[in-house]
Every structure is written in structure tokens, then in C-alpha cells.
Amino acid sequence: MIYTMMEACRETGMTYQGLKFYCNAGLVPNVKRDKINRRIFDEHDIAWIKSLRKLRKCGMSLADIREYMNLCLQGESSIPQRKIILSRTRDRLTAQIEELRESIRYIDGKQGFYDGVLSGTAEYVSNLIPCSCSLDS
């Protein structure tokens, strides 16, 4: 099946401007054109564009995606190098997940503290409001 730009956008969930940017940046290789010079896409292009979106959602830079794509274009022999790029991306995502878990633990702790204050089982203490207690005590 052959897709126009708009059909490719609908199929991949990309905006027209986004797909045009990726095409112009050379991140969609071998872009074909119809008789009146409009971009057209086949099933392989659509599959790659979907992969491209997922790589971006993983936070992969355009430079890393370009490197990954160029390795893919080299064929099977470049699989070890591709695995290294994906491993680096995975490691970074794993670190981000841990940072998010720490953030959630902080929020949960604050919520627990506020619940205690509201229920009367914990005394309210603020790091922002100076204590009115006497230093002589």
C-alpha cells in the first residue's frame, strides 16, 4: 500500500509538520515521490516512522537516531553497535525511572505528613515558617 503524507500522518500519529521535519532531516531514508513530486510512503516507511516516534519517546536524540538509522541501513552486521545504542538509552531510562520513584516516595511522605497533621496525630512543622518557640527553652 502507498500512503500520502496525510495518510502517513494518520497512520503513524505524527503531525504533518513533524513528519516533514523528519523527512527533511534525513531521518526517513529513501523517501519516494509521486508524479507531481509529493512524498509517498510504503509499509516499510510507515513501520520505520513508528519506530522513529518510539525512539524519540525514549528520549533518544536526533543524532543518536541518525546513528542508529545509519547502522540499520548497513544491515545485520551492525546489530552489535545498534544494541550498544539501545543499551545506553535503556540505562538512561532506568535511571529516570528511579528518579521518578524517589520523587513519588517524597510526595507520598509529604502526603502522609499532611494526613497526620490533619488528623491530629502529627505536629505541624514547616521549613519555611520560622519557629516561634523561645531559644531559652
Instruction: Please give the pLDDT value at position 127.
Output: 87
Task: Note the pTM of the prediction, 2 decimals.
Answer: 0.79
16 contacts: CB under 8 Å, gap ≥ 6? 5, 6, 9
Measured CA to CA, the distance from residue 5 to residue 2 in angstroms comes to 10
Structural domain includes residue 94 = yes
Structural domain includes residue 80 = yes
**Where does a domain end: 16, 36, 57?**
57
Structural domain includes residue 73 = yes
**64 exposure class (CB count in 10 Å sphere: 0-12, 13-18, 19+):** middle
Count of structural domains, the chain = 2
Tens of pLDDT along 83-132? 999 999 999 999 999 999 999 999 999 999 999 999 999 999 988 988 76
The parent domain of residue 121 ranges over 59-125
Give yes or no for a contact between 46 and 11, defined as CB atoms under 8 angstroms apart. Answer: yes
Structural domain includes residue 135 = no
Looking at the structure, do residues 52 and 91 belong to the same domain, yes or no?
A: no
Looking at the structure, do residues 45 and 66 belong to the same domain, yes or no?
A: no
